Amino acid sequence: MVGLTNQFRYSADLPEQGEPRIGEELIQVRHGDGRTEELRLHDYGRLYSIPGLYERIVHERLGCRSPAQIASMLGEAVDRIAWERGAVRVIDLAAGNGISGAALAAQGLRPVLGTDIVTTARAAALRDRPHVYDAYRTLDLLDLDPTEEQAIADLRANALTCVAPVGTASQQLPPLAVTAVARLLAPDALIAYMHDPRLGVSDELEPALIRGQLGDGIGIEQLDRRRYLHRYTVSGRPYEMDGVVLRVRRG
């Protein structure tokens, strides 16, 4: 059992548990007042509400590298097409408590919006990284109303990131959710995201973008795709993802 202590007066452990399904990993939290709590790795609502817990389990204990990886791939793609990094305005989907936005900012990119469907994510981002995003909104991307769509379009963003697997499986961000925001980006925009090859299904985002009413004359160019170490499982096995950067041009 690995114990993690911090200034927030709790300890958090990943007990011996074999090799549970991704997202079902058990976390045990012992609070300073003696209370013991159990939660699962994808219980994001509760995970974000305990300051520092997500970082200490997912990033320190399991070695998650995806925020830095996706931000770095986007930065490299920006350089390759001769854009200025400081002029790249990014919408960060599934932004959680803002780790992904901080990684974008470290690459010299500007996170103009963080968004997540988990209601406690916004509070956690404002608590832990209050100056990373220009704005943070709790949104259901599959059910945006006209006011929300206009607010996103008004940002004049030319990049979109998603540091969460995009796909149709449980716990993944649906391709249609990405498409709903992509059609509100500038006519020439970049999309950087993760695809989980472990599930044995093809990457469905490009077909979704083509079908997604993004306008006439859509062109999609894959600028980068590479397999990398996303994190380790609780038993220490590598868990890999594919990082992808697309350039989407309309009209």
Residues 140, 244 share a domain? yes
C-alpha distance across the termini of the chain, in Å? 56
**Burial tier of 32 (Cβ tally within 10 Å: 0-12, 13-18, 19+):** exposed
Shared domain for 83 and 118, answered yes or no, is yes
Both 99 and 195 in a single domain?
yes
Same domain for 53 and 165? no
List the one residue out of 68, 21, 29 whose CA is nearest residue 47: 29
**Pair 31, 144 in one domain:** no
Domain termination site, one of 45, 61, 77:
61
Between CA 236 and CA 232 the distance in angstroms is: 5
Instruction: In whole angstroms, give the CA distance from residue 92 to residue 230.
Output: 18
Tell me how many domains the chain contains: 2
Are residues 89 and 195 part of one domain? yes
Is there a single domain that holds both residue 138 and residue 34? no
pLDDT tens-digit profile of 182-241? 999 999 999 999 999 988 778 899 989 988 767 667 899 999 999 999 999 999 999 999
49 with 153, same domain: the answer is no
Tens of pLDDT along 101-112? 999 999 999 999
Residue pair 214/188 in contact by the 8 Å Cβ criterion: no
Question: Model confidence over 111-138: pLDDT tens digits?
Answer: 999 999 999 999 999 999 999 999 999 9
Is 87 in the same domain as 155? yes
The parent domain of residue 35 ranges over 2-61
Q: How far apart are CA 88 and CA 79, in angstroms?
A: 11
Own/partner contacts of 80-88, CB < 8 Å, gap of 24 or more, are 80/223, 81/223, 81/247, 85/109, 86/110, 87/158, 88/158, 88/159, 88/190
Do 55 and 174 have their domain in common?
Answer: no
One domain, residues 97 and 191? yes
Same domain, yes or no, for 19 and 79?
no
